[in-house]
Structure 1
Amino acid sequence: MADSDAHKIAKAAKYAFENSQLIPASERVKALQEIRNVLDANKTEILEANKLDLQAARLEVEAGRMSESLMKRLDLGKGDKWDSMSQGISDVAGLPDPTGSVSYASELDDGLELYRVSCPIGVLLVIFEARPEVVVNIASLAIKSGNAAILKGGKESSRTTSLLSKAISTGLAKTSLPETYIQTVQTRAEVSSLLELDQYIDLVIPRGSNSLVRNIQNSTRIPVMGHADGLCSVFLDETADVEKAVRIVVDSKTDYPSACNAAENLIIHEAVLNTVWPTVARALLEANVTLLCDPASLEVVKSLPSPPKNLNAHVKLSEPSSYTTEHLSLTLSVITLSSLKSAIEFINAHSSHHTDSIVTESDESASMFCRGVDSAGTFVNASTRFADGFRYGFGTEVGISTGRIHARGPVGLEGLVTYKYMMRSKSQSGHIVGEFGTGKKRYKHEKIETNTVPF
């Protein structure tokens, strides 16, 4: 793609954003409703295209050029994925408008008012792999939050994303929003050119593999929001209840192993090594999970009475690299530690700061874990798989952010807005700074109780 074409797309997105700011929020809601209607009307055609993408992906897996976990993310017809995607549009449409809300208001002087007001970020460039429904998820959030967006999906889902993008454009055309409000591009060359256009693009959001995110972060001056990987842990505290431990560990690992919020490391307090761990280990083996164990946990598993038939094939000695690997499969790394403090230190040193959970009956341990673990999500007696925008009630999410500024964790509507300061003088002669200072007027700085800007 020529640089001039990239420039044209980015400039059109910026123009669309700027010209959409005076369009009422109700029109954005209408756009989402129209998009859902178009998608549902074209469901059969889109799912047929998705089957073709899956067939092509299967050949890539068999040739060793694609991982099994990546291929599984392509399937738009699996389970309730379509229904969740479709319902997510309506859920986002029904959420409160994230723009125009006042988070700070103050009267600086008689008739001089200052407001901090939420507003869209601008133009988003969102780059993702495999999951075709991400096109719809992100378009919904961008539209609702007042942002224009340029979307780039993975080549492995090109047939599906092409039809999804067409449906979005068709829905937008039935509203007063600009046609270029949501655009899609197809190639890496297009992305490379767009990453240079920081005068038009305000935020890059990559969703995908570690290598994808790192490459984006190293290739642009534009701010990047995203996570490179999902190294999540579950810690079995010394007070862990065995039934809770089984349910939480098995679900965290097996509910959707290729998701970024699936557990990759299991940490066992040495006090429960011979009590809780044997039952958890048996449950994991019954779920066909491969265990990469440290010597202490390995010894316990090898000594299980009436050992599972897959024990020898599915239990192996771990290596140091096991605990920094995002398996994205039915593989779990296991380590035994002597205290809650050492578990917190281990997680902070080895995790990707995504989501980590503790199984405990101690309020003190729960509090220490949640405060001490430096991750976007810290859970008590709950599966790491709950780390999701839809489950949080955000309607859907644009991604998971493991950064520490602006937005963290599942990024929904609130993560796609920033704020501006609005000031208004009601004085007949206006206000000037020269009237304030030593021997002159003093600032009042009196709080104004309001949630909306009165002008």
Structure 2
Amino acid sequence: MSLVTDSPSLPEAAADSPLLAQVQLARAAARRTATLPTAIKNAALEAMATALLEHQEAILAANQADLEQAAEQVKAGELSASAYARLKLDAQKLADAVAGVRQVLRLPDPVGQALLIRELDEGLVLERRTYPLGVLGVIFESRPDALVQIAALAVKTGNSVLLKGGSEGLCSCQALMAAIQAGLQQIPEFPQGSLQLLTSRAEVKALLQLEGLVDLIIPRGSSSFVRYIMENTRIPVLGHADGLCHLYVDRAADVDMAVRLTLDSKTQYPAACNAIETLLVHAEIAPRFLPLAVQALREKGVELRGDPRCRQLVPDLIPASEADWRTEYADLILAIKMVDSLDEAIAHIERYGSRHTEAIVTEDAAAAQRFLDEVDAAGVFHNASTRFADGFRYGLGAEVGISTQKLPPRGPVGLEGLVTYRYQLRGRGHLVADYTAPQARPFQHRDRRDRLNTTGLS
């Protein structure tokens, strides 16, 4: 059984697309990868991991070339400092990416899983089984290591993927893809065309018009970039436009813990979408917490902006404006607001948050539970850094991105987010008429839980 079928009619915009041949190759590959045995997919992942390490010198040299060019773009104001930070790929980052590939290898195969097996009647059996989505278009800015994560997830889930990194990381992406392809060539059963690298903006524009040929677009990057993708395609889009995260320090917080969590959530990697942009502080704890937090944050080079009440405690804070509560800085800048209650903190998050990741610091279990229950976000944390919102840290192996939409998948999108399901019905010549006649035969609807979670692949 194949997942992907050719569209009955080609979209008009696709007929003249220079990408048409590549997408058709990807769809042909998806027909084969949809039913590849787990052992073959795992062998492909191990070959990819080995090849990435073998090609480390070439990969890091390519990244250095990108960094040198990007440094000039930063000086000219054409590239942000946060984008430059995400671009860097050193030996440790590459090792982490390879570890992610091998973690994906060890995870259960999400394809072919039986989610439901129900005997509607004797000899009439309904199954709901998982299958790959088909052809994915993943467009990301800066981070070249994202290419490795996405490729690993695509291989394990049996999807084909067309990847497009930012122009600032072109050399890095080309070197990474060359290494990955070298590894995949060691596995003859793995079809060519399942992983392809796009290199130009014109290809992205064309890709967005291929409705009916591409099954899902996943953008990763700045809010303006993601919004552009969402507004310029009719293909389903999975992602998030903003990463405006908050940390709320409750009146019952442990002050030392709150300072540590604030530092980690903001400064551990400020360019990440799960770094906090606003710090909410309860008025009762502010006199004890705020001076310590300000000192620690300034030692890390953070520019601090505060509301009038915070500035009464720390007069040299930069005045915060309404715009600061709505801004994703992705940089060493933090806005601070004082609140009088948990309700006020939740209301602020509801108004300004992006449903990405929100956290509370408190020793009050009831307050923590209210926060976890009432704050509507993909990730809601208690006494933990917002930086934990990550597919690798969740044990998903890797992620293609983080979704802030309410419908699933939500949060870090790993293996389970890249499969869909279909209903399969097996009978013995059963007729609906037999179940609707005056002497209708009754349905049995017996669930076969003993056969659940069995894979249809070997």
Q: TM-score range by the shorter chain?
A: over 0.9
Query: Equivalent residue for 1:361?
Result: 363
Distance 2:260 2:33 in 1: 48
| Partner SS state of residue 426, structure 2 | strand
Is the contact between residue 242 and residue 280 of structure 1 (CA under 8 Å) also seen in structure 2? no
Q: Deviations over 1:49-84 (max 9, x none)?
A: 110100000000111111111011111017x21110
1:125 aligned to 2:137? yes
**Which 10-residue stretch deviates more, 291-300 or 19-28?**
19-28
Query: Equivalent residue for 1:433?
Result: 432
List alignment gaps of at least 5 residues for structure 2.
1-13
Alignment of 1:100-111 (within 5 A): 100-111=112-123
Change (3 A) 1:421 1:82: same
How far did residue 158 of structure 1 move? 0.5
Q: Deviations over 1:366-387 (max 9, x none)?
A: 1111111111000000000000
Alignment of 1:25-424 (within 5 A): 25-77=38-90, 80-175=92-187, 176-302=189-315, 312=316, 315-424=317-426
Q: What amino acid maps onto 1:262 in structure 2?
A: A
Normalising by structure 1, we get a TM-score of 0.94
Is the contact between residue 141 and residue 221 of structure 2 (CA under 8 Å) also seen in structure 1? yes
| Partner SS state of residue 389, structure 1 | coil
Q: Deviations over 1:233-276 (max 9, x none)?
A: 00011111101101111110010011101011000111212122
**Which 10-residue stretch deviates more, 141-150 or 98-107?**
98-107
Distance 1:157 1:190 in 2: 16
How far did residue 335 of structure 1 move? 0.5
How far did residue 406 of structure 1 move? 2.4
Distance 1:19 1:34 in 2: 19
Query: Equivalent residue for 1:306?
Result: none
Change (3 A) 1:387 1:453: closer
| Partner SS state of residue 174, structure 1 | coil
Normalising by structure 2, we get a TM-score of 0.94
Is the contact between residue 114 and residue 421 of structure 1 (CA under 8 Å) also seen in structure 2? yes
Q: What amino acid maps onto 2:287 in structure 1?
A: N
Distance 1:345 1:111 in 2: 55
List alignment gaps of at least 5 residues for structure 1.
303-311
**Which 10-residue stretch deviates more, 316-325 or 4-13?**
4-13
Distance 1:254 1:40 in 2: 29
Distance 2:52 2:411 in 1: 28
Is the contact between residue 111 and residue 455 of structure 2 (CA under 8 Å) also seen in structure 1? no
How far did residue 358 of structure 1 move? 0.1
Q: What amino acid maps onto 1:33 in structure 2?
A: E
Distance 1:196 1:444 in 2: 47
Equivalent pairs: percent with the same residue? 43
Q: Write out the 4+ residue segments of structure 1 that deviate beyond 6 Å after TM superposition.
A: none
Query: Equivalent residue for 2:9?
Result: none
Query: Equivalent residue for 2:442?
Result: 442
Distance 1:358 1:110 in 2: 54
Is the contact between residue 113 and residue 456 of structure 2 (CA under 8 Å) also seen in structure 1? no
Distance 1:453 1:30 in 2: 18
| Partner SS state of residue 210, structure 2 | coil
Is the contact between residue 127 and residue 425 of structure 2 (CA under 8 Å) also seen in structure 1? yes
CA RMSD for the aligned pairs? 1.5
Change (3 A) 1:337 1:185: same
| Partner SS state of residue 431, structure 1 | coil
Distance 1:89 1:447 in 2: 36
| Partner SS state of residue 305, structure 2 | strand
How far did residue 454 of structure 1 move? 7.3
Distance 2:354 2:118 in 1: 40
| Partner SS state of residue 353, structure 1 | coil
How far did residue 282 of structure 1 move? 2.2
Distance 2:16 2:151 in 1: 25
Distance 1:77 1:2 in 2: 42
Distance 1:205 1:57 in 2: 24
Query: Equivalent residue for 2:8?
Result: none
Is the contact between residue 34 and residue 131 of structure 2 (CA under 8 Å) also seen in structure 1? no
Q: What amino acid maps onto 1:189 in structure 2?
A: A
Distance 1:62 1:361 in 2: 46
**Which 10-residue stretch deviates more, 46-55 or 19-28?**
19-28
How far did residue 187 of structure 1 move? 0.9
Distance 2:174 2:235 in 1: 26
Distance 2:322 2:16 in 1: 45
